[in-house]
Structure 1
Amino acid sequence: MTKTAPHSGGTFAENILHFARTLRRAGLPVGPGRVIEAIRAVEVAGIRRRDDFYWTLHSVFVNRRDQWDIFDQAFHVFWRNPELLKKMMDMMLPTTFLDSTKRDDQPELSRRLSEALAPSPAPESDQESEQEEIEINATLTASDNELLQSKDFESMSAAEMEEAKKAMAAMRLPILEVKTRRQRADLRGNLIDMRRTLRASLRSGGATIPLRFRSKVTRHPPLVILCDISGSMAQYSRMLLHFMHALTNDRDRVHTFVFGTRLTNITRYMRYRDVDAALDAVSEKVEDWSGGTRIGATVREFNKFWSRRVLGQGAVVLLISDGLDREGGEGLETEMERLHKSCRQLIWLNPLLRFEGFEPRARGVKAILPHVDQFRTVHNLNSLKDLADILSKPMGAQLEKRSFAA
């Protein structure tokens, strides 16, 4: 079968160009070079089948797993007309447009895509609204920075997500330092160093005995992060990977794992200085992104193969998950109990806790909750700052767990 190549002088290239602009406004890194590659790729692959057209554009515009959802939504909205490909082959459709009506069976569009598909206002109205907005912000409303701090990751636009990523890159997590068994020389120490004291006395022939002191060495405990990347956590896990990258590059002894249906150690990739290179490497390594969740099986795998390696010296464990287990929490309570006993502190960060009416009704949530020291929400920048405040206090002063009615 011969493939139909679109005529280069028609409006087909313009439609792909508009589609690429939509993806760029939604946050995907699409430049002029990729637009040219997409046009050439479609000319080679043809447009006889919608699936071929979809995967041809996908292979050019998508290079990370966390970009799949945005591309998929944008494609099915932008090229919504069922007769679009047939008309494009005849060069009868000059442009594509967004239908204002929305069917009940269609998933809700992400805010990033909705804003990308919205028409841009006129330049004159932009200028007037900008002046008016500046005037109002100066007198009546909170600053944009304060609004961004309290905004849910799930409802952020593409521009707000970029600002939030920059804020997370600058965050520091001051985990309280603890005493170790090691000691070091210290002029103001409270322990007498007998070996150094005797050596100093020999220099004077024993006439004087100058005391030498030492003190306990303190350092922060290891930090272990277990992050859920299943479909229900997709929006939050994408943002929190930036936070995990900032932590890994801010201190030593940080071990990062992600899990969905299997456990993956991504510590090596999180140590890359370039966050884009790190996330690209993670995307290639992780195979179960936005899939199901097997929390019990993955925690069991961590306890069996990794706990002795990374949980030494009183490690602090951050479990980032909504607690929704595909297997109904099978074996989860036993594994969580073992994990809790193996670390200094176990903190559970759950984005569902942001809802006032949240109750632990899911079996996975019920299995995890009795074995955690902290149960906190993680859905915006303020929640991450609260986490830093918690970990900078002594453990006895930070224990707090929300109580739920049975």
Structure 2
Amino acid sequence: MTERPDRRSLRLAADHLWGFMSALRRAGVRPAPPKQADFLRAIAESAPRDVTSLYWYARVTLLDGVADLETFDRVFDTWFRRDDIETAVTPPPDERGNAPAPHGGDDGGPPPPDAVQGNGVEASALATTGRRAFGRSDARQRDLMRSLQATWPACLPTISSRRRHPARSGRRLDMRRVWRQARRDGGEIVRLRWTTRPPRTRRLLLLVDVSGSLRKHTSDLLRLAHTAIQAAPARTEVFTFGTRLTRVTAALSCPQVDRALDALSHEVLDAHGGTAIGAALERFLDTPRFLALARGALVIVISDGLERGDCAAMVRSTERLSRLGHRLVWWSPLACSPTYRPITRGMAGQLGSLDRLGGVRDLETGLAEIRRLPTVLAGPRRAAARHWPEPTPTGPPT
């Protein structure tokens, strides 16, 4: 049983943490009050097991980018790189008098900070807020984006438009134009006019996971979403989700990808943090103006499916999205591995609702999956389970 710290130790730990944040401000690193609250909440909910773990708690929650990293490291080393500090970061005991475990454990608390950094092993419940930089696009990425933008239109599903347009032939006469022409010809019908309903592209709905477990893939996944908006600007909607749901269609509408990603960094404040897939999908489905965007649309969810806690909400939301949309496709970076199997409870529970479970981790794999879309659209509904062995959920809910 963990020894309960005395009042003096708790007071010293609190004073030391506040002193560290004051030293950061004096050194020119000024985290916003919500970010400081995230840092203290993370320590209170899951105590760091060593100074390295504390470093990642502080770096993930307090820093906006890498510009202040050198100053941050210097201040952190001054305040915490000592042998006697290990016991100073122990959080206060709960109301029953029991101190929290030194790290997440199996009781539903947050996992160690390395999961927040995006190792793709397990999801995190730690909510972080702040601006995240998504990097600049290199020449190879721009070439792939041009290929993606040219590929999207031919691979998206179509539907007959509601409005009728004049046509040279068809199955329905345009009687108004026929009689108008007849009056010009002395009352004789000498030429028939037709109308038709030309095809138009169905709406494309992209839901992109930006949580910490996808940290190294997030930038390319957002570039992939940018190419979709540029290819079909009037028919594409993009949302991101981590611990909150954010509509980013307007930010990604800028033709210059780096400008679009820079604008996106001001709007997506939960990137590289925790995961709440079920809560985000439920929030989408509970908002009427968002719900309408999914009806009859090609819905593509890009996520590893690593849910934190109970996965029932994610499975229910996926089932409902499948009924609302024309097709529901799930792209996971984990599925790029030949040894991957959807055996977590979340993925196994929703596999029967998916039309395809594919692997996308960068622009190149994204291009390959887009080219497979016509085959998916021509096939039967909910066919993902046919292409994977029958999954057997194992382990705790993820």
Residue in structure 2 matching 1:290, options 249, 267, 272: 272
> What's the CA shift for 1:247?
1.8
Residue in structure 2 matching 1:244, options 220, 225, 229: 225
Unaligned runs of 5+ in 1: 1-46, 60-64, 87-104, 111-157
> What's the CA shift for 1:310?
1.4
Residue in structure 2 matching 1:218, options 199, 211, 219: 199
CA–CA distance in structure 2, aligned partners of residues 357 and 368 of structure 1: 20
Partner of 2:319: 337
Asked if the contact 1:328/1:363 (under 8 Å) is kept, the reply is no
Task: Map Cα deviations across residues 353-382 of structure 1 (whole Å, 9 max, x no partner).
Answer: 011221222222123322111111002333
Task: Map Cα deviations across residues 53-105 of structure 1 (whole Å, 9 max, x no partner).
Answer: 8864999xxxxx9xx69839974999799689x9xxxxxxxxxxxxxxxxxx9
CA–CA distance in structure 2, aligned partners of residues 325 and 72 of structure 1: 31
Q: Does 1:405 align with 2:387?
A: no
Partner of 1:189: 170
Asked if the contact 2:159/2:199 (under 8 Å) is kept, the reply is yes
Partner of 1:319: 301
CA–CA distance in structure 2, aligned partners of residues 296 and 81 of structure 1: 36
What pairs up with 1:127-142 in 2 under 5 angstroms? none
Return closer, same or farther for 1:73/1:238 CA change in 2, 3 Å cut-off. farther
Partner of 1:169: 145
**Higher RCO structure, 1 or 2 (CA under 8 Å, sep 6+):** 2
Q: Secondary structure at the match of 1:235?
A: coil
What pairs up with 1:118-157 in 2 under 5 angstroms? none
Q: Does 1:71 align with 2:66?
A: yes
> What's the CA shift for 1:393?
5.1
CA–CA distance in structure 2, aligned partners of residues 231 and 323 of structure 1: 12
**Identity over aligned pairs, percent:** 26
When the two structures are aligned, how many residues end up with a matched partner? 287
Q: Secondary structure at the match of 2:163?
A: strand
Unaligned runs of 5+ in 2: 1-19, 33-59, 82-111, 118-134, 392-398
Task: Map Cα deviations across residues 299-327 of structure 1 (whole Å, 9 max, x no partner).
Answer: 11111114433124x21111000000112
| TM-score normalised per structure 1 | 0.61
| TM-score normalised per structure 2 | 0.62
Asked if the contact 1:270/1:278 (under 8 Å) is kept, the reply is yes
Q: Does 1:372 align with 2:361?
A: no
Partner of 2:286: 304
Partner of 2:328: 346
CA–CA distance in structure 1, aligned partners of residues 29 and 181 of structure 2: 77
CA–CA distance in structure 2, aligned partners of residues 398 and 107 of structure 1: 40
CA–CA distance in structure 2, aligned partners of residues 394 and 205 of structure 1: 54
Asked if the contact 1:178/1:218 (under 8 Å) is kept, the reply is yes
Q: Does 1:205 align with 2:186?
A: yes
CA–CA distance in structure 1, aligned partners of residues 283 and 309 of structure 2: 15
Asked if the contact 1:168/1:246 (under 8 Å) is kept, the reply is no
What pairs up with 1:21-60 in 2 under 5 angstroms? 51=24, 56=29
Q: Does 1:396 align with 2:381?
A: no
Which 10-residue stretch deviates more, 352-361 or 253-262?
352-361
Return closer, same or farther for 1:285/1:81 CA change in 2, 3 Å cut-off. closer
CA–CA distance in structure 2, aligned partners of residues 193 and 268 of structure 1: 39
